[in-house]
Amino acid sequence: MTLRWVHQLTPTVAYGDAVGNDTFELQRLFWTRGLASDVFGWEAKPPVEPFVRAQSELRGVPVEGGALLVHVSMGNPALSEVASLPHRKAVVYHNITPERFFEGISDQLVRHSRLGREQLKELAKSAELGIADSEFNRRELEALGYPRTAVVPILTDAAAFDVEPDPAVAAELAEERTSILVVGQILPQKAVHDVLDAFARYRACDPAARLYLVGPHGMSGPYLERVREQARRLGIDDATRFAGAVPIEQLAAYYRGATVLLTLSDHEGFNVPLLEAWRNGLPIVANAAGATPETLGDAGVLIERKSPETVAAALEEVVRDAELRRRLVERGRARLADFAPGRVVGKLEKAFALVGWTLPPARTRRLAVLSSDQRCGIHSYSLALCVGLRANGQDVTFVGVRHLDSADLRKKVSHIARGEPVIVEHEAGIFRDVPFVRALLRLRLGGHRIVLSPHELEPEKFHHYRILTRAIHYRRRYGVPLEILRVPWVALRIAWAFIEYRAILLLMGGLPERIVVHSLGSKLWSGLLARDESKVDLIPLTVMPIEGVTPPKDAAAKRALREKLGLPADRFVFISPGFFFARKRFLEVIAALPEDAVLVLSGTRPSWDPEYYDQVMAWLERNKPANVVVNTDFDRTPEYLVASDAVVLYYRDIFQSAVAVEALWAGLPCIFSDIEGFRMYRGVGLMAANDAELAKAMREIREPETAARLRRQVAVMRRMLAPERVAPRYLVGL
């Protein structure tokens, strides 16, 4: 069976852990093969929540034509329910930590570990295939009775570490003679207690050495205080740093600045930090437990008996022997090839073949993206989409059309090579209704498969709907006798307008193969164009790089940019960018602004609706606030954006916001109005339902902990909405 869809269930979905990353990378793989692929979960952590469907929705997914991958790494109520689903299933097993490691730490983790093994055994009755990320895990599946098993390593995103390392962490490690790095949760199976004993022994020969423990503490329970006390007892607490969970920029700095990665875990199902260390050129000393030896291969120093003396001796050898370090780094880079996406995909295809499942082949297509040729949000979005498609090997031509120029549209459409798929990024201000439908018809007759991507979909966006409503709400002009005679004429006009309107909708929805919308508001009205919901896909706007500007690399660069723009270097700067429309509520934003902060209003006066701009300017002239800056030079807005600290989008209503994804690209946290169009960004900003909440949010976002948390989550959503990840989804089903 050639698969048409592969959905995944991960009970708890998060970004940054091995299971979550594998899930999202598999989803990306399936999209590149033209398969529909959604992630379902019992629970989703911010900021990936918008990208996860509720597990309850699985029952509405058709059974035919696809497979469901069930990721298992701990017990969860979701797994008991999924076992009864009629879909063809494969279990993706990431290992369940034995309950003995959690005794005395967390009764809940003990229960979940025990439940997980029971559920894993139960799933063997309904799953056709067991996929393990290591031979260590595969043997466990085989012992539990899975009819067919295979090893498919975890898929990782190599580009995740293509970031600028955190300068503060990099500077801290640069000052150290020896920095020993441990990456992982602070839990007993990670044997942090053994790490401390070994480090204390190692410091006898290298007193300046420091130990960095990087990993979350959320489930550590009393074990965290136990190891902290152990560090104090051993006299190494001043040389040991419990860094906790860190953003990718800090993690990259730790990997690149450390001397050696040490992992003494007693139980590992795969051990992803080994791959991360190799990718960053860091030698490894590891304990031979669980799957670590098979993942490590010869690309590290493997310890069979991890006494403090043995570990200390291995550390000393790796730290001091330059030739050994060079060999380990070279072997690590060579070993990475075994876990390259191409090889992992090959193993996945062989695993699927065991049960008769076939992935469609990867295809390189020639295709066109048709949209605006003028600088605006939809133009920038279309260019970002082209970049994402090209990053996935597609041959893409961008076709720009002058706004509301039907002759130009007809000319540009005629130049698209026959048979090429065409993605149309549509907005009412670019295309006239009837000429646009004619263009779609011409494309369809020319053998083109069309993906229509309307950015604002509602009745009022169609010119013929506005004609219809004007006809319905016609005003009396004459006396009663003439008005009575006039009614049939108006009725005919209404009937004809209605026929035109419905014909446009019928053709506009029927000619494309797929319809892609970008907001829940547009999804609500998608029935105007398509009766078949499977034809409609909700794809959030991809992140849009801003042409001609680069976010400042550090505080010094930001100060220099602010000096150039005339902004204060030492004050918190908010920005509200975009056209001056009343729905953007700039006056309310000004009223909520803290006195010691600065607000930049950066936008232009729209010619078709200038009243609000004049109103704002009049208010500023009367009140002359010293902390409000107005920029009306469109070309300077990107500089003001990246020079700011936070973006305020307190809109009354919105379909979707190009400014929001530009803010994500710039790495800036936001304050959003609590409306449907901004709901997906809840994890990367503060939400304000009214003016009082807006004022509170503008105070809270300046707190260092809040700002740091939001910036971390912005970085995650920026990866989730990267053009190279999102763009292949447009071609699903073609």
- Please answer whether residues 325 and 299 qualify as being in contact, where contact means their C-beta atoms are separated by less than 8 angstroms: no
β pairing state of 89-93 and 66-72: parallel
Any idea what the CATH number is for the domain that residue 133 is in?
3.40.50.2000
Q: How many Å apart are CA 239 and CA 655, to the nearest integer?
A: 52
- Please answer whether residues 121 and 91 qualify as being in contact, where contact means their C-beta atoms are separated by less than 8 angstroms: no
At 324, which helix (H) or strand (E)? helix 322-336
Q: Which residues pair with 183 in a beta bridge?
A: 214
- Kindly indicate the confidence band of residue 607, based on its pLDDT and cuts at 50, 70 and 90: confident
* Tokens describing residue 354: 């065991």
The verdict on 138 and 227 lying in the same domain is no
For residue 481, pLDDT over 80 is answered with no
For residue range 334-348, list pLDDT tens digits in order: 999 999 999 999 999
The verdict on 423 and 383 lying in the same domain is yes
Q: The sheet that has 450-454: what strands, in order across it?
A: 395-401, 366-372, 422-426, 450-454, 514-517, 536-538
Last residue of a domain, one of 155, 177, 207: 155
For residue 689, pLDDT over 80 is answered with yes
SS3 call for 9: strand
Q: How many Å apart are CA 519 and CA 455, to the nearest integer?
A: 8
The verdict on 135 and 192 lying in the same domain is no
184-197: average pLDDT: 97
Number of compact structural domains in the chain? 4
678-707: average pLDDT: 95
At 277, which helix (H) or strand (E)? helix 273-279
Q: Which residues pair with 422 in a beta bridge?
A: 368, 450
- Kindly indicate the confidence band of residue 269, based on its pLDDT and cuts at 50, 70 and 90: very high
For residue range 54-91, list pLDDT tens digits in order: 999 999 999 999 999 999 999 998 898 898 899 999 99
The verdict on 141 and 182 lying in the same domain is no
The verdict on 146 and 194 lying in the same domain is no
What single DSSP character describes residue 519? S
Contacts of 452 (CB under 8 A, 6+ apart): 424, 426, 440, 508, 509, 511, 512, 514, 515, 516, 529
- For 205-221, letters b (16+ CB in 10 Å) and e give ebeebbbbbbbebeebb
For residue 281, pLDDT over 90 is answered with yes
Q: Which residues pair with 90 in a beta bridge?
A: 69, 129
Secondary structure (DSSP) of 146-166? -SSEEE-PPP--GGGG-SPPP
Q: How many Å apart are CA 644 and CA 641, to the nearest integer?
A: 5
Per-residue pLDDT, 175: 83
Task: Kindly give the interhelix angle for 341-353 and 18-32, rounded to the nearest 10 degrees.
Answer: 80
In a domain, 344, yes or no: no
The verdict on 626 and 644 lying in the same domain is yes
For residue range 249-258, list pLDDT tens digits in order: 999 999 999 9
Secondary structure (DSSP) of 392-423? TT-EEEEEEE-TT-HHHHHHHHHTSPTT--EE
Per-residue pLDDT, 426: 95
Amino acid of residue 239: A
Any idea what the CATH number is for the domain that residue 496 is in?
3.40.50
In a domain, 201, yes or no: yes
The verdict on 329 and 406 lying in the same domain is no
Residue 345 to residues 33, 35, 91, 362, Cα–Cα distance (Å): 11, 14, 17, 11
Q: Please report where in the chains the tokens 């290298």 appear, as a residue.
A: 206
Look at 145-159, 169-183, 484-498, 671-685 and tell me which has the smallest mean pLDDT: 484-498
Instruction: Work out the widest C-alpha separation in the chain, in whole angstroms.
Output: 109
For residue range 427-449, list pLDDT tens digits in order: 988 999 999 999 999 999 999 99
Q: Residue 347 CB: number of other CB atoms within 10 A?
A: 14
SS3 call for 452: strand
In a domain, 354, yes or no: no
- Nearest Cα to 297, choosing from 259, 337, 260, 267? 337
What single DSSP character describes residue 225? H
Q: How many CA atoms lie within 13 A of 503 on its CB side?
A: 13
For residue range 560-582, list pLDDT tens digits in order: 999 999 999 999 999 999 889 99
For residue 480, pLDDT over 80 is answered with no
In a domain, 89, yes or no: yes
The verdict on 574 and 495 lying in the same domain is no
Amino acid of residue 244: G
For residue range 525-555, list pLDDT tens digits in order: 999 999 888 899 999 999 988 878 999 988 8
- Nearest Cα to 117, choosing from 175, 73, 86, 54? 73
For residue range 460-470, list pLDDT tens digits in order: 888 888 888 88
For residue 620, pLDDT over 90 is answered with yes
Q: How many Å apart are CA 241 and CA 228, to the nearest integer?
A: 10
In a domain, 487, yes or no: yes
E-assigned strand segments in 428-543: 450-454, 514-517, 536-538
SS3 call for 524: helix
What single DSSP character describes residue 87? S
What single DSSP character describes residue 271? -
Q: How many Å apart are CA 548 and CA 551, to the nearest integer?
A: 10
Q: How many Å apart are CA 512 and CA 453, to the nearest integer?
A: 10
Which carries the bigger pLDDT value, residue 492 or residue 148? 148
This prediction has a pTM of 0.92
Per-residue pLDDT, 253: 97
Amino acid of residue 207: P
647-657: average pLDDT: 91
For the chain, the average pLDDT equals 94
In a domain, 356, yes or no: no
For residue 42, pLDDT over 90 is answered with yes
The verdict on 114 and 184 lying in the same domain is no
Q: Is the dihedral of CA 472, 475, 477, 480 positive or negative?
A: positive
Per-residue pLDDT, 345: 97
Q: Which residues pair with 2 in a beta bridge?
A: 358
Last residue of a domain, one of 480, 512, 538: 538
The verdict on 195 and 66 lying in the same domain is no
In a domain, 274, yes or no: yes
The verdict on 38 and 61 lying in the same domain is yes
- Residues of the chain with pLDDT > 70, as a percent, come to 100
- Residues of the chain with pLDDT > 90, as a percent, come to 81
For residue range 627-640, list pLDDT tens digits in order: 999 999 988 999 99
Q: Which residues pair with 649 in a beta bridge?
A: 672
Residue 115 to residues 11, 84, 122, 554, 558, Cα–Cα distance (Å): 13, 17, 10, 48, 52
Q: How many Å apart are CA 224 and CA 171, to the nearest integer?
A: 27
The residue segments making up the domain with residue 15 are 5-155
Q: How many CA atoms lie within 13 A of 502 on its CB side?
A: 5
Per-residue pLDDT, 408: 96
Q: How many Å apart are CA 177 and CA 208, to the nearest integer?
A: 7
Q: Please report where in the chains the tokens 């539990």 appear, as a residue.
A: 144
In a domain, 345, yes or no: no
Contacts of 142 (CB under 8 A, 6+ apart): 130, 149
The verdict on 312 and 174 lying in the same domain is yes
Amino acid of residue 145: G
